Amino acid sequence: MDNAMADHLAGLFARAGLCEVAVSPQHEVARRGEPDFEARAGIWADVAATRGRQMVADGVVDEHGRAAAEAELRAWAHGDGETMRMYLLAVEGVRAL
């Protein structure tokens, strides 16, 4: 699992032979008070609830740690969380003919 994958994509595209590689930031910010804040801020709790189970099966984390992370993320989204910023990049390249 590479949490910095977005930052590596331009290099991976270039190594794959793509040219005219362009990176465009597409970050998203959710703020408390917006109608969908809790749903958007809860995305990582949803990931822990679903994909986290595969991480348990793979031995990356134990079930106690996965469940604790999910509970803490949900509590943050429903309680003290004020702002969440998703770091997103779009990467495009052209295949050389």
**pLDDT of amino acid 3:** 79
**pLDDT of amino acid 97:** 79
CA distances from 53 to 22, 31, 66, 95 (A): 35, 28, 8, 37
**pLDDT of amino acid 96:** 82
- Report the C-alpha gap between 70 and 58 in whole angstroms: 18
**pLDDT of amino acid 1:** 63
Per-residue pLDDT of the chain (97 residues; tens, 9 = 90+): 677 899 999 999 999 999 999 999 999 999 999 999 999 999 999 999 999 999 999 999 999 999 999 999 999 999 999 999 999 999 999 998 7
3-state secondary structure of 95: strand
Query: Structural domain boundaries of the chain?
Result: 1-32+82-97, 35-80
- Report the C-alpha gap between 23 and 91 in whole angstroms: 5
Contact between 88 and 6 (Cβ < 8 Å): yes
